[in-house]
Structure 1
Amino acid sequence: MSGQAWNDNGFLEADDSAAQVRELLRTDPTSKAWLFLPRHETDALDQAATHLGIDALAIEDILGEREPMKLDWIDSTLVAVLRWVSFDVTTGELTALPVSVLAGPRAVIVLTDEEHCRELADVLRKRGPAILSDGIPAALHAVVDTVVDAITAVLLVMEDAVDKLSETLFDDRPLIKAEQLYAFRVRRALAHLRRVTTPMRDIAAGLANAAGRAAARHNTDDPEPTDDAERLLGLRSVREFSDVADHAEHAGQNADGLRDVISSMYETNLALADVHLNTVMKKLTGWAAIIAVPTLITGFMGMNVPYPGFQSEVGFLIAFVVMITAVLTLFVTLRRRDWI
C-alpha cells in the first residue's frame, strides 16, 4: 500500500503508507491524495472511502474480478475499470489484470496487484509538480496514461513477434508445427487485446470529452460546470486527456491492423502449404510416369508366349533401346515442363 497527500502548500509529510495518508485526509479538510491499494485490501478501501465520502455502490462496482472495462459516474465519484496488459513473447500469452480507479474531489484511489501498485506509484511521484499544479485531474491522467502506454508497449512487442513469423514465410516454406502453434497463440492474444483496446478507446474519449466540455463552458456566459465530470476534471486537463484519447485510438487501430496482418499471414501460410503439396504431387506424378515406362516394357517381355525377338539377344537389345529412349524422352519432356 502506498500513497501521497498534498494541499495548497505542497506535499504533506507522510511515510507513504495508506494509513498515514488516510489520517492526513481526515485531519486536514483541504488536503487531497492518491492511494494505491492491493485488490484484496477491502478494509483499507472501505476506511478510505468513508473519509472521502465515496458512495458504497461505487466500491461494490469495482471489486468484481470479471467486472467489464467501463467509465461511469456515481454521484461525484468517477468509477473506471481498466486493464493492465502484458505479453510474454516466449509463450505468446497475453495477461490482462484489472486496474480499478475511484476518483473524487479529494482523492484518486487505485486498486490493482502489488507489482503494478508500485509501478504506478513511481509514475505519480515523478509527476509530483503536475499533480501539485493541477490536482486530482493530473493524478487521474497519470494512471490512465500509464495503462494506455502499457497497451502501446505490448503492441510493439507483438508487432516484432509477428514480423519474425512473417519473415519465415518469405523463406518460401510453410510454418512448422511449433511456429503454427505460436502464431495461433499470438492470434488469440491479439483477440484478447482487442477486447481491451476497444473499451479503452471509449473510456479515454469519455474523459477527453468531459474535460473538453468543462473548458468550452468556461468560455461561455455560464462558466459553472453542469455535471460531476466537468466539475472533477476542471479546465486544465483538456490537452492531457485528449492526448491519452489519441494514444488509445492509435493503439486500437494498431491492434486491428496487426490482427489483419496475422490473418493474412495465416492465409499465406495455407497457400504456401497448398503450393508445396502441389509441387510434391507433381514431382511424384512425373517420376511415377517415368518408372511406368520400363515397367510396361519389361512386363510385355515377361509374357510366356512367343513374340518377335523372343528368347534372342536382338529382341533384348531392341527392348532395352526402346525402354531407354522412352525414359529419356519422357524425362526431358517433364523436365522442360518443370514437373520433376
Structure 2
Amino acid sequence: MSMIRDLRSAVLPRRGATLDDTRTATLRAGDAVVDCAVYREGRRVTDRCGAGEAVAQLRDAGRQSQGDFVWIGLHEPTEEEFAGIAARFGLHPLAVEDAVHAHQRPKLERYDDVLFAVFKTIRYVEHDRLTPTSDVVSTGEVMVFLGPDFVITVRHGSQGSLRPLRRRLESDAELLAKGPSVVLHAVADLVVDGYLSVTDELQTDVDEVEFSVFSQRNGRGSDAGRIYQLKREVLEFKRACAPLTRPLASLSTTPNPLVDPEVQAYFRDVADHLARVNEQVLAFDELLNSILQANLAQVTVVQNEDMRKITAWAAILAVPTMVTGVYGMNFDNMPELHWHYGYPAVLAGILLVCFLIYRGFRKNKWL
C-alpha cells in the first residue's frame, strides 16, 4: 500500500510533465525496459530509446496524428523501476500494483482513459514420460496498459516473449497504423494461439494415460498418481483460460473509444479460438475424471479377485486342518484308529474332498 500512496503523490498529467520528469522516469525504468519505440503511421521512427525521450518525440506540438503511439515493453519491473513510467502516463495505482506483483486472474479493467488487461501465458513442459510429479504446463503473465497514444506491455515469467510479435507487427505498417489497439489484439491472439498449441500436446498425454489404463489386462499397474497429476495441470490451464472469456467478449462486442472498430472485428476471431480452447480443456477434465474412476474400479476388481482366491484356498485348506485337528485329540476310541490302512485312507479322503472343492471353485471362476 505504501507504493500506492507514493504513486498517488507522484502521478503527473501525461501532457503536462516536464522534460526533467520524463528523464527521471527513463532512469528509474531503464533496467526493466526491453524495448521502447515511437510509431508514426505504422512505422517505427526511433531505434531503442528511453521512455521519456519517446514520449517527448511523440507529443511534439503539431506532429502527432491519429494512430501514432509509443510502445514500451517491460519484463518483471520492480516498484521503483515502474514508478516513473506509471507517473508519466498517469496509470492507476491499483493497476500498477497488479502489474508489478503479478499472480493476477485474467481480466480487463478500465481506469479513466486507460485499459488494463491481464493475460495468462501457458507453455507446455516437455517430458519423456508422464509421472506423478511431472510438470506439464508452466504459466506466466502479460499485462497491457492501453491508452490513446501509448501501449505498455509488462511480462512476467520466462515464456511469452513479445520480441517476435513486435517484429511481425512492424512488418505490417498498414495494420500498425490503426493504433495501440492493434498491439492489444496481437498480444491476445498470441496468448490464445499458445493455448491451442498446449491443448494439442495435452491431448497426447491424455491419450497416453487412457491407453495405459485400459490396456492393463491384469489391472496390477495403478495410474492414479499420473492421472491426478495430469488433472492438476489441466486445472491450472483452466484457471488461465476460462476467466479470459468475458474480457475478450467485451473487447469484441462492446464499442470502446480506445479500440479501433476494424480491430474490434479481429477480437471476435480470438474469442472464437478461446471458446474452442475452453471446450477442449473442459473435455480433458471430464475425460480424466472418467479415466480416474475407471482406474479405481479396476483396482477394486483386482482386490475382489484376490479376496476370492484367498477365500477359496482358505476353504480348501480348512478340510485337512479340521480332519487333522480331530485326529490330533489323542482319544483311544476313534474311528479307524487301529485300522492298518487308516492313515492312507484318511489322506485319500482329505485329498478327494479338497479336489472336489477346488473343482467347484474353478468351475465358478474363483480360482
Specify if TM > 0.5. Answer: yes
Question: Residue deviations 1:201-234, cap 9 Å, x none?
Answer: 1111111112xx4xxxxxxxxxxxxxxx2x2222
- 1:71 aligned partner, one-letter code: L
Query: Is the deviation greater in 188-197 or in 99-108?
Result: 188-197
Aligned pair in 2 of structure 1 residues 308, 203: CA closer, same or farther (>3 Å)?
A: same
2: CA distance, partners of 1:326 / 1:58:
83
Aligned pair in 2 of structure 1 residues 148, 9: CA closer, same or farther (>3 Å)?
A: closer
2: CA distance, partners of 1:9 / 1:339:
78
Matched, 1:338 2:362: no
Deviation (angstroms), 1:149: 1.9
- 1:238 aligned partner, one-letter code: Q
Deviation (angstroms), 1:59: 3.3
Deviation (angstroms), 1:251: 1.3
Question: Do the aligned residues in 1 keep the contact of 2:124 with 2:138 (CA within 8 Å)?
Answer: yes
Q: 1:217 is matched with which residue?
A: none
Gaps of 5+ in 1: 214-228
Please point out which of 259, 266, 269 is paired with 1:233: 259
For the residue of structure 2 that corresponds to 1:313, the secondary structure is coil
Deviation (angstroms), 1:295: 2.0
For the residue of structure 2 that corresponds to 1:84, the secondary structure is strand
- 2:148 aligned partner, one-letter code: P
Question: Do the aligned residues in 2 keep the contact of 1:38 with 1:113 (CA within 8 Å)?
Answer: yes
Q: Percent identity?
A: 24
Matched, 1:40 2:77: yes
Please point out which of 99, 102, 111 is paired with 2:145: 102
Matched, 1:194 2:220: no
Deviation (angstroms), 1:41: 5.1
For the residue of structure 2 that corresponds to 1:73, the secondary structure is strand
For the residue of structure 2 that corresponds to 1:92, the secondary structure is coil
Question: Do the aligned residues in 2 keep the contact of 1:82 with 1:99 (CA within 8 Å)?
Answer: yes
Question: Do the aligned residues in 1 keep the contact of 2:123 with 2:159 (CA within 8 Å)?
Answer: no
Deviation (angstroms), 1:25: 2.7
Question: Do the aligned residues in 2 keep the contact of 1:26 with 1:51 (CA within 8 Å)?
Answer: no
Question: Do the aligned residues in 1 keep the contact of 2:224 with 2:296 (CA within 8 Å)?
Answer: no
For the residue of structure 2 that corresponds to 1:122, the secondary structure is helix
Gaps of 5+ in 2: 1-33, 128-133
Deviation (angstroms), 1:109: 1.0
For the residue of structure 1 that corresponds to 2:262, the secondary structure is coil
Query: Is the deviation greater in 271-280 or in 29-38?
Result: 29-38
Question: Do the aligned residues in 2 keep the contact of 1:18 with 1:36 (CA within 8 Å)?
Answer: no
Question: Do the aligned residues in 2 keep the contact of 1:58 with 1:77 (CA within 8 Å)?
Answer: no
- 1:99 aligned partner, one-letter code: V
1: CA distance, partners of 2:267 / 2:84:
30
For the residue of structure 1 that corresponds to 2:143, the secondary structure is strand
Deviation (angstroms), 1:52: 4.9
Deviation (angstroms), 1:312: 2.9
Aligned pair in 2 of structure 1 residues 272, 180: CA closer, same or farther (>3 Å)?
A: same
Tell me the TM-score normalized by structure 2. 0.77
Please point out which of 346, 349, 356 is paired with 1:319: 346
For the residue of structure 2 that corresponds to 1:233, the secondary structure is coil
Q: Aligned-pair RMSD on alpha carbons?
A: 2.6
Deviation (angstroms), 1:296: 2.1
Aligned pair in 2 of structure 1 residues 63, 9: CA closer, same or farther (>3 Å)?
A: closer
Q: 1:282 is matched with which residue?
A: 308
Query: Is the deviation greater in 125-134 or in 77-86?
Result: 125-134
Question: Do the aligned residues in 2 keep the contact of 1:81 with 1:100 (CA within 8 Å)?
Answer: yes
Matched, 1:111 2:154: yes
Query: Is the deviation greater in 61-70 or in 258-267?
Result: 61-70
Query: Is the deviation greater in 126-135 or in 57-66?
Result: 57-66
Aligned pair in 2 of structure 1 residues 23, 185: CA closer, same or farther (>3 Å)?
A: farther
Aligned pair in 2 of structure 1 residues 288, 58: CA closer, same or farther (>3 Å)?
A: closer
Deviation (angstroms), 1:112: 1.0
2: CA distance, partners of 1:101 / 1:9:
19
Aligned pair in 2 of structure 1 residues 7, 263: CA closer, same or farther (>3 Å)?
A: same
Q: How do residues 17-96 of structure 1 correspond to structure 2 at under 5 angstroms?
A: 21-22=54-55, 24-27=57-60, 29-30=64-65, 31-40=68-77, 42=79, 45-48=82-85, 52=89, 54=91, 58-60=95-97, 62-90=99-127, 91-92=134-135, 94-96=137-139
Q: 1:127 is matched with which residue?
A: 169
Deviation (angstroms), 1:163: 2.0
